[in-house]
Structure 1
Amino acid sequence: MTRKLPIGPMARNLFATAGVQIVVALLSLISGPLQARGLGPEGRGQLAVVLVIGQIAAFLSDAGTLGYVIRERARGRPRGVLIGSVLPILAVSFALWAIAAWPLALVFGKGDPTLTIMILAQLTLLPFTAATQLGSGVALAEERWRIMMIIRLTVAVVPVLGLLVLFLSDRMSVQSACICYFVATIIAAIPALALCLRSRPLVFSWSITLDAWRFGRVSMLTILITMGNTRADVLIVSQFLSLRDAGLYAVASILASMPLMLTSAVAQSLSRRLSLSSLGAETARASRLLLLVMAVICIGVAGAAPFVLPWLFGSAFRESVPILWILLFGTLCASPSNFLGYATSLAGHPKSAAFAQLIGVVVMAVTMIFLVPAWGLIGAAIGSALSYAASAGVLLRNAHGTSGIQWCSYIIPTARDVRDVVLLIRRKLSIVFGRPL
């Protein structure tokens, strides 16, 4: 007789999102080597700058309203009222980004016309990314996993197909690779826009707009600091070292961050519950289970890195191996940091999450100022890893103060946790293979 696991709905939601994340991770193992082999370290560095700027801008383009939409929709606020009320905030955000686009392109383009134009094009697509995030927020709050799967798979599959065609036809360049991602951004916005249109009539409520702005300005600060903590290291390397170094660092950073897709899957599967909870026992258990799985994954990646990384990306990227080892330690620290930061914001404490990420940014800035000039890429990796550790420490302290649960309960798994994870995996594998394991 199969014992029923106590994580029931959480497990079902997790497998609904984790499956997509696994597919995305596997596709990254295809697109990453194609980019690296087709562009080389310097070209890969240019592409990394464009994509990182696009990622930071995309997360900021909704002016912090995504968390508000998820929370309020989970609590039953009508879709049409929510969307209609946040649209004015989005319009102002787009206008500000349009003003800032040219200066940003000039600064990070480093005098390269191609790089400058690609950055401008990336920032032009912000309305599409904001629409995608708005629709995704509604889908998460309603646990509409099919729509989420379509959006995520579109973002992952379309670039891989384009890059594969470019690589096989020997036509890959920074411009053509960027275009693949631009097309994916536009296509992914279609199902999100369709969900938003089904929310008509859109109703504007000034009180909800003000409430969304009050929530969003703090949340946006959190996002800005988080992006600085998780993405700015590539930009720092590109500005203070070279685009070639940025390419080497980007490859290591992508491999190190891939396990964090599991963090995202867990957080998304629990979005509704986290919106209604206050960092209680269920959040603590999910956090420590997540860290347990992440530790196993990171150890495996670290052991395989010296052999797999050069084989996948080419011998020109062999220098990325020691950078990857250091960043994997940062990934372990980022697991509780990212998950508890997300949970803290949805539990109604965005300022606490913002403060934790701010501490991480300060630690990264200070360490990189001293370490990058002396140790180059190794110094940048150490600064990034220490920033995650600092943020995790602050968030653990905050979770203890809010819930009364000891900080170790969020990161140290129990024997029951290990047993339940093993049973869950065996049950799912039994379904896959059609026989008990």
Structure 2
Amino acid sequence: MVKNYSLTKDGISVFATQILTLVIGFISGVLLARWLGPSGRGVFTALLVYPTIMISLLSMGMRQATVYYLGKKKYSESDIVGVTLLLLISSSIIGVLISVIIISYTKNSGYNQMLILLASLTIPADLTINYFTGILIGKQRISKFNQVMYLVPIINLALIFFLVYFEKLYIVGAVLATLAAKIVLAIYALLLINREYTLKICCVPEMIKRMVSLGSIYAFSLFILNLNYRVDIIILEHLSNVAEIGQYTIGVGFAELLWQLPAAFGLVIFAYSANAKDSDKFSQDIAKMVRIIFPIVFIGSVFLYFASGYIIPFLYGEEYIPSIKMLKILLPGIVMMSFFKIINMDLAGRGKPDVTIKLFLPAVLINIVLNIILIPDFGGCGAALASTISYTLASISILYYYMKITQLSLSDIFICKKSDINFLLGLFHALPIKR
């Protein structure tokens, strides 16, 4: 029970950090939407979508592999840090080169060489954050991880005010603000790790082979997930216009607010799952998390459905009214993905990232086909519908698999129990206690 409380309290602490970063990021998004307009916002979003996808692939799953091997204690921690640094440098160089080539090949009239280079340079910064926060998570230093994560939106917001509003750099300023904030966060993450370990490149062929082998599966799994989340924007860029991309981005951003709670617990679940001695017992804890979190997400979706018609025009202006319908179409798929995000992280912690690939790849293909069919006639609404269908199919598939390997029933996972209420009451009383 103590460990269960620890998991939940760590999840709450990550969620609180995410709420802080979300509020600040939300303000930044509103300001950018107003100062850049739908077209400028669309160019900004489309420009960064390629580095985002590249990061998910070139991270090579090192955060997840690091958490797994630290939890299983198969290698010395100093060697794991040294190998991580070597792989970080290699992947960063490759990532920048590939990103510049890909974005240049799109020949979007809104891009210039400076914008392309600045966007591509976010890759080394993001990879540094990704790799080295994996060490913090693997050591269950959740409070340190939280410290790293809330800095970037604060710096980003300050730079947006300075570069976009005062200096009138607009899209260039927005990209510069994003890059600078990530660089500061990357440096801070390195300093935290350097306090405990010597940052020295380590080349241990066997360890590199094992970490890359497992990590590549994690990476491809994450790549598939990110591709499914962002392929609609890529197709919109080719079959629609940047203004509609800007409107669609706002709808997606609002809908994905509902993922903050399951995403926060998913990250902590991954760390605890990698360290779990009894996987079957831990699955019971995961079911409890779903029973508590899923109803909260559902209620939040109902609120967004009815309130978005007032909130979006008030915050973003009349130009973003089309975002409301896109958001409403996305909501069912977003709700279904909420339990996916929890279950999937338990499977990842067990060293089974390949399950996500097998079950999610068909959903990605369906998403691509539906986007190509629906976007020409329905624009952003067609993209939203394609995503909802894809998310729903993927979530049902992984739920069926998880029930099969854990022997849990639908009622075990979704029907709230009296013990859940008692657990929440106990957690409420335990929260003020310092561990």
User: Do these two structures clear the TM 0.5 threshold for a shared fold by scoring above it?
Assistant: yes
1:149-201 deviation line (CA, Å, top 9, x unaligned): 22211121111122234565372511111111111010001121123333227
- Residue 126 of structure 2 aligns with an amino acid whose one-letter code is T
1:381-400 equivalences under 5 Å are 381-400=384-403
TM-score by length of 2: 0.90
Is the alpha carbon distance of 1:408 and 1:393 closer, same or farther for their aligned partners in structure 2, counting shifts above 3 Å?
Answer: farther
User: Could you tell me which residue of structure 2 aligns to residue 9 of structure 1?
Assistant: 6
CA distance in 2, matches of 1:226, 1:5: 33
User: Could you tell me which residue of structure 2 aligns to residue 178 of structure 1?
Assistant: 175
CA distance in 2, matches of 1:425, 1:39: 44
User: Could you tell me which residue of structure 1 aligns to residue 421 of structure 2?
Assistant: 419
User: Contact 2:122–2:179 at 8 Å: present in 1 too?
Assistant: yes
CA distance in 2, matches of 1:326, 1:5: 41
CA distance in 2, matches of 1:417, 1:26: 33
TM-score by length of 1: 0.90
CA distance in 1, matches of 2:110, 2:92: 25
Is the alpha carbon distance of 1:383 and 1:140 closer, same or farther for their aligned partners in structure 2, counting shifts above 3 Å?
Answer: same
1:107-152 deviation line (CA, Å, top 9, x unaligned): 34513343x5323322223222211112211111112233212221
User: Contact 2:363–2:391 at 8 Å: present in 1 too?
Assistant: yes
Match of 1:70 among 46, 49, 67: 67
Is the alpha carbon distance of 1:335 and 1:424 closer, same or farther for their aligned partners in structure 2, counting shifts above 3 Å?
Answer: farther
TM-fit CA distance, 1:353:
1.4
Is the alpha carbon distance of 1:148 and 1:201 closer, same or farther for their aligned partners in structure 2, counting shifts above 3 Å?
Answer: closer
User: Contact 2:5–2:427 at 8 Å: present in 1 too?
Assistant: no
Matched, 1:250 2:230: no
1:206-228 deviation line (CA, Å, top 9, x unaligned): 21111111102211211111111
1:353-364 equivalences under 5 Å are 353-364=356-367
The range that moved more, 358-367 or 36-45, is 358-367
TM-fit CA distance, 1:427:
5.4
User: Could you tell me which residue of structure 2 aligns to residue 435 of structure 1?
Assistant: none
CA distance in 1, matches of 2:54, 2:411: 35
Aligned-CA RMSD value: 2.4
The range that moved more, 53-62 or 22-31, is 53-62
User: Contact 2:100–2:120 at 8 Å: present in 1 too?
Assistant: no
The size of the alignment, in residue pairs, is 425
User: Could you tell me which residue of structure 2 aligns to residue 141 of structure 1?
Assistant: 138
Match of 1:366 among 346, 354, 369: 369
The range that moved more, 54-63 or 382-391, is 54-63
Is the alpha carbon distance of 1:368 and 1:428 closer, same or farther for their aligned partners in structure 2, counting shifts above 3 Å?
Answer: farther
CA distance in 2, matches of 1:156, 1:428: 30
User: Contact 1:397–1:407 at 8 Å: present in 2 too?
Assistant: no
Unmatched 5+ stretches in structure 2: none
Unmatched 5+ stretches in structure 1: 432-437
1:24-423 equivalences under 5 Å are 24-76=21-73, 77-114=75-112, 117-166=114-163, 169=166, 171=168, 173-197=170-194, 198-200=196-198, 202=200, 203-277=202-276, 278=279, 280-410=283-413, 412-416=414-418, 419-420=421-422, 423=425
CA distance in 1, matches of 2:199, 2:86: 16
CA distance in 1, matches of 2:352, 2:361: 15
Provide the secondary structure at the position in 2 that maps to 1:143: coil
1:343-373 deviation line (CA, Å, top 9, x unaligned): 2122111111111221220121121122112
- Residue 97 of structure 1 aligns with an amino acid whose one-letter code is G
